[in-house]
Amino acid sequence: MTEFGGPEVLRLAELPTPEPGPGETLIRVTRAGLNFGDTHTRTNSYVQKATLPLVPGGEVAGVREDTGERVMGYIQWGAFAEKVASQLLWPAPAAWSAEEAAAFPVNFFTAYLAYWKAGLVDSSARGKRVLIHAAAGGVGTAAVEIGKILGVETFGTSSSDEKLERVRELGLTHGINYEKTDYEKAVLKATDGKGVDAVFEMLGGEHTNKSIRCLADFGRLVQFGSATGKHPEVDARMLYVKSTSVHGLWLSVLSRDERVMKPAWERLSQWISEGKLHPVVGQVLPMGKAAEGYNLLGDRKNFGKVVLKISD
C-alpha cells in the first residue's frame, strides 16, 4: 500500500526480503489470516496509525527459514508477503492445515484474553453467561469454542440465521439475529432480567452502552473493536448502577507482554493437544484477490476467518 483508501490501494509489488531484527525469525509465508483490523488499516481508521508505504497483514502460517519448522506467527504489519520477520511464533499443530494455522493467532489469543479480562478463565467460569458480538466471525467463533470448553453459556449475535446455525454447531448456546430481534431485549428475556456476566464488544458507537445494559450485577464489558466505525459510547453512570466495569483489550499491546502471552499459550496449546480447538476457515483466496477478502469482512459476508494463499 502506498496510499490509504478503498480496495484499489492494494497492489502486488516486488520488495526486498525483510532483514530480521533482534529476536526475530525469517518466515517463508504460505498462508496469511485477514482480519477486520486490516480493513481499518487500509482506510487509515485503525487506532494505531500506519506509516506508508506499508505491507499489510498481521498473522501468518509458514516455515522458519532457519530450521524448516512449520510455525504460526503474529506481527504488527508485513504478513501479506512471501517473507516476513516475526518475533512471536508458535509451532503449527501437526494435525492442522496451513489455513487453520493462519486462522489461529489473532482470533484465539484475542478470544482467550477477552475471557481473561472478564475474569472467566478458571473453574468459576462454569455456568457464567457471556454475550459475544459477531459470533460467526473470526474472533467470535474462537470465543464460542473457548466458551464451550470453559462451560460458559454463550449468547451470540449475527446478521444471519444461516451463520448462527453454523455457530450453534460449534457450541453456541443462544443465537440472536440482530436484524430481526433487539439483542438487549433478547438477552434480558433469556436471563429473567438478570443479564450476562460479560459482553465481548467490538461494534462501538451506541452498542457499547446497549451492551452495558445487557450486563448482570458486577458484569464486565470487554471493548476490543469498533466495527461500526463509531467511537464506543460509555455512560459511566450506568457502570455504578450495577457495579459493572469496562475493560479494554488490544492484542498489539498484550502480545508484547510475556507474562500475559505465556500462560495464554500454555492453556491454548493444551486445548489444541486435546483436539478441542478448531480454527474456522470460511474462505480462502489467492493473494491477488486480497481485495475481495477485505470486502467479505466489510460486507459481513465472511464466516470465521478469511485466509489468503501466499505460496505453496
Cell of 295: 470486502
| Residue 106 binds ligand NAP, judged by CB under 6 A | yes
Beta-carbon neighbour count of residue 270 at 10 Å? 11
For residues 173 and 151, is the Cβ–Cβ distance under 8 A? no
For residues 150 and 187, is the Cβ–Cβ distance under 8 A? no
| Residue 25 binds ligand NAP, judged by CB under 6 A | no
CA–CA distance, 109 with 265 (Å, rounded to integer): 8
Q: How many residues bind ligand NAP (CB under 6 A)?
A: 28
| Residue 131 binds ligand NAP, judged by CB under 6 A | no
| Residue 290 binds ligand NAP, judged by CB under 6 A | no
The least distance separating ligand NAP from the CB of residue 167, rounded to whole angstroms, comes to 9
Alpha-carbon torsion angle 166, 172, 175, 177, nearest 10 = -50
Torsion over CA: 212, 223, 302, 141 (sign):
negative
Q: What x-and-dash track marks residues 133-172 binding ligand NAP by CB under 6 A? A: -x-xxxxx-----------------xxx--x---------
Q: What x-and-dash track marks residues 191-230 binding ligand NAP by CB under 6 A? A: -----------xx--------------------xx-xx--
The least distance separating ligand NAP from the CB of residue 149, rounded to whole angstroms, comes to 19
Which ranges of the chain does DSSP label H, i.e. alpha helix?
36-43, 98-102, 105-117, 138-150, 161-170, 183-190, 207-212, 237-241, 251-254, 258-273, 290-298
Q: Which of residues 42-101 bind ligand NAP (CB under 6 A)?
A: none
Nearer to ligand NAP by C-beta: 243 or 252?
252
| Residue 4 binds ligand NAP, judged by CB under 6 A | no
Nearer to ligand NAP by C-beta: 228 or 243?
228
Radius of gyration of the chain (CA): 19
Q: Which of 187, 222, 251, 268 binds ligand NAP (CB under 6 A)?
A: 251
CA–CA distance, 269 with 174 (Å, rounded to integer): 27
Cell of 301: 459476508
| Residue 41 binds ligand NAP, judged by CB under 6 A | no
Beta-carbon neighbour count of residue 78 at 10 Å? 21
ω into 56 cis (within 30 of 0): no
Nearer to ligand NAP by C-beta: 194 or 289?
289
Nearer to ligand NAP by C-beta: 70 or 300?
300
Nearer to ligand NAP by C-beta: 130 or 216?
130
Q: Binding residues for ligand NAP, per CB under 6 A?
A: 35-37, 106, 110, 134, 136-140, 158-160, 163, 202-203, 224-225, 227-228, 249-251, 297-298, 300, 302
